[in-house]
């Protein structure tokens, strides 16, 4: 008897020492993981902010192109004494509206012969963009004040090609004698981005609009400073690069952590099981209960690590996309889950064929259905799976008649490692819904829930139309 007791004490001590070591590693792992996640979220926010700036620049770019084209056409018409064209005014009260208003006023004044040609020159000189007139051989015949300030007052008479840096794409060749004559012959506007060399020997990125003149052989060239936009693009690219590096570090960290901790956990589980089997007759009931509790906790930790690894792999590899019949897939998922006899699951509608990675769709429905089973407190549980149309969107849903979720917890449940119930009450790693959210967003979809305490919860998610092959 004493020999068995000594075995129990030694084994228990070894287990306790091992558990302390594992717990310390796990705490360090969580701390590092949280740091990486916070940095990842910060980079995402920065990237989103700069993307918004870029989108704003792009919108302004399109608007500017349209308005500048309109202004150039009216300028060319006025130069040829054609007063039929009118510049568009949008009531935005910006510099383009000011230019458009001035051009229209000029047309009316010239038409009635009550204003001199100096009025047109005033508009020409007051533009904030560089505006040049280029003759048929590519020499600068005229330039507004803004252009002279940036390029030097001796700019008149220079070859326009000489004020641009040579570029890899050869776009600057458009301003050679042959290029200029080709544009005049085509009689079509052109647009290009180049770096211009200022009088202070500084490189300035500009967006250039080139329009053939109607009154004589030559070009009207308008160059707009896009330095701010280029800087925003560089910042965006740098942020994307940092975000990718952060994501790679996070995935690598999750993989290494998960792999390194699995082996000792398996050892603890096996050793605990052996002690329980070999020494069950001599162990006290409290000791048996503690060992069973230990085995359960080890299984939970193992599941936790598996979840972290699964989460880190989403989108990492370019998995093969197949056409998946969701009806068959959902039935497979239901068969693979241990569904209690008190729980009924039914598919309300024929689900569509989708283009996706099969394991992704399995994880989505497996986690949503398991979650509905786990948090159902009714004697006769019911889960409904199907689709509905709402505001021209096709919504997938997984609906249950369970305990429901408070509105204040709607966002919390999608946060990694968060659970609504203590883990000793309901066994959960707190990562299932986080995986679902990441997969849905990987396909540019959305996920949310509607719930009422005591009545049940419905999880909705969407996939973009490009992922849906057919809906019966």
Share of the chain above pLDDT 90, in %: 7
Mean pLDDT value across the chain: 77
In the predicted structure, residue 246 carries a pLDDT above the cut 90: no
pLDDT (0 to 100) of residue 253 = 64
How far does the chain reach from its first CA to its final CA, in angstroms? 71
pLDDT tens-digit series, residues 55-104: 777 777 777 777 777 777 777 776 666 666 777 777 776 777 777 777 77
Q: Which of residues 426 and 226 earns the better pLDDT score? A: 226
What integer pLDDT is reported at residue 427 of this predicted model?
45
β-strand 218-225 against 130-135: which pairing, if any?
A: antiparallel
- Does the pLDDT of residue 155 top 70, yes or no? yes
Q: What token pair was written down for 335?
A: 């068969």
Read off the pLDDT band of 262 (50, 70, 90). low
DSSP string, 76-127: HHHHTT---------S--SHHHHHHHHHHHHHHHHHTT-S-THHHHHHHHH-
Let me know how long the chain is. Answer: 472
- Which pLDDT band holds residue 8 (cuts at 50, 70, 90)? low
- Which of the four CATH numbers 3.30.450.20, 3.40.50.300, 3.30.300.180, 1.10.150.120 does domain 127-225 have? 3.30.450.20
Which of the four pLDDT bands, split at 50, 70 and 90, describes residue 423? Answer: very low
pLDDT band for position 461 (cuts 50, 70, 90)? very high
- Of the two residues 388 and 423, the one the predictor is more confident about is 388
Could you state, in order of their start, the residue ranges of all structural domains in the chain?
A: 127-225, 317-472
* pLDDT greater than 50 at residue 417: no
Buried b (16+ CB within 10 A) or exposed e, 205-243: bbbbbbbbbeeeebbbbbbbbbeebbebbebbeebeebb
Statement: residue 413 has pLDDT above 60: yes
Is pLDDT of 445 > 80?
yes
SS3 of residue 202 by DSSP: coil
Which of 34-43, 85-94, 300-309 is least confident?
Answer: 300-309
Looking at residue 382, its pLDDT comes to 93
**Do the domains spanning 127-225 and 317-472 agree at the CATH topology level?**
no
What is the Cα–Cα distance from 317 to 456, expressed in whole angstroms? 36
The proportion of the chain whose per-residue pLDDT surpasses 70, expressed as a percent, equals 76
CA atoms within 13 Å, Cβ hemisphere of 462: 15
Q: What is the CATH number of domain 317-472?
A: 3.30.565.10
Extract the tokens encoding 360. 């992704």
Per the model's pLDDT, the better-predicted residue between 124 and 237 turns out to be: 237
Report the pLDDT value the prediction gives residue 399, as an integer from 0 to 100.
93
Mean pLDDT throughout 266-279?
74
CA distance 176 to 54: 32
With residues binned 3-state (H G I as helix, E B as strand, rest as coil), the percentages for the chain, rounded to 5, are 55, 20, 25
Identify the band that residue 216 occupies on the pLDDT scale cut at 50, 70 and 90. Answer: confident
Find out whether 386 and 349 touch, Cβ atoms under 8 Å: yes
As a whole number, mean pLDDT of residues 18-32 equals 75
What integer is the mean pLDDT of 22-35? 75
> Which residues on neighbouring strands pair with residue 224, listed in sequence order?
207
CA dihedral sign of residues 207, 210, 211, 216: positive
| Residues 6 or more apart whose Cβ sits within 8 Å of residue 308 | 33, 254, 257, 258, 431
Judge whether residue 279 has pLDDT over 50: yes
* Mean pLDDT, rounded, for 133-153: 88
């Amino acid at each position: 008897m004493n020999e068995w007791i000594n075995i129990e004490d030694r084994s228990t001590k070894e287990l306790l020492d091992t558990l302390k070591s594992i717990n310390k590693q796990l705490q360090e792992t969580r701390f590092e993981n949280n740091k990486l996640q916070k940095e990842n979220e910060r980079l995402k926010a920065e990237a989103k902010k700069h993307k918004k700036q870029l989108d704003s620049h792009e919108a302004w770019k399109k608007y500017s192109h349209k308005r500048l084209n309109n202004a150039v056409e009216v300028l060319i018409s006025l130069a040829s004494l054609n007063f039929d064209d009118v510049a568009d005014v949008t009531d935005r009260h910006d510099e383009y509206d000011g230019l458009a208003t001035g051009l229209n006023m000029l047309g009316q004044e010239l038409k009635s012969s009550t204003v001199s040609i100096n009025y047109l020159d005033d508009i020409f000189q007051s533009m904030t963009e560089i505006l040049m007139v280029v003759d048929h051989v590519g020499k600068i015949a005229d330039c507004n004040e803004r252009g002279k300030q940036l390029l030097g007052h001796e700019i008149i008479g220079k070859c326009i090609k000489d004020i641009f840096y040579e570029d890899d794409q050869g776009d600057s060749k458009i301003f050679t004698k042959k290029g200029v004559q080709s544009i005049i012959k085509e009689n079509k506007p052109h647009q290009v981005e180049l770096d211009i060399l200022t009088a202070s020997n500084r490189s300035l990125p500009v967006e250039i609009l080139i329009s053939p003149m109607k009154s004589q052989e030559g070009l009207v060239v308008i160059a707009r400073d896009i330095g701010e936009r280029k800087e925003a693009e560089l910042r965006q690219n740098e942020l994307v690069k940092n975000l990718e590096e952060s994501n790679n570090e996070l995935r690598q960290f999750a993989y290494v952590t998960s792999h390194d901790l699995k082996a000792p956990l398996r050892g603890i589980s096996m050793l605990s099981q052996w002690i329980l089997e070999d020494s069950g007759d001599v162990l006290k009931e409290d000791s048996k209960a503690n060992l069973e509790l230990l085995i359960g906790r080890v299984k939970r930790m193992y599941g936790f690590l598996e979840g972290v690894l699964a989460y880190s792999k989403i989108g990492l590899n370019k998995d093969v996309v197949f056409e998946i019949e969701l009806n068959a897939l959902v039935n497979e998922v239901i068969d693979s889950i241990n569904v209690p006899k008190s729980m009924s699951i039914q598919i309300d509608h024929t689900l569509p064929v989708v283009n996706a990675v099969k394991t992704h769709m399995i994880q989505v429905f497996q986690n949503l259905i398991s979650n509905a089973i786990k948090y159902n407190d009714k004697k006769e549980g019911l889960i409904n799976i199907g689709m509905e149309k709402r505001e021209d969107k096709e919504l997938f849903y997984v609906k249950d008649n369970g305990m429901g979720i408070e509105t204040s917890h709607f966002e919390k449940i999608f946060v990694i490692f968060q659970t609504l119930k203590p883990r000793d009450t309901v066994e959960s790693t707190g990562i299932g819904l986080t995986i679902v959210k990441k997969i849905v967003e990987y396909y540019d979809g959305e996920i949310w829930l509607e719930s009422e305490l005591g009545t049940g919860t419905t999880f909705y998610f969407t996939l973009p139309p490009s992922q849906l092959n057919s809906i019966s």
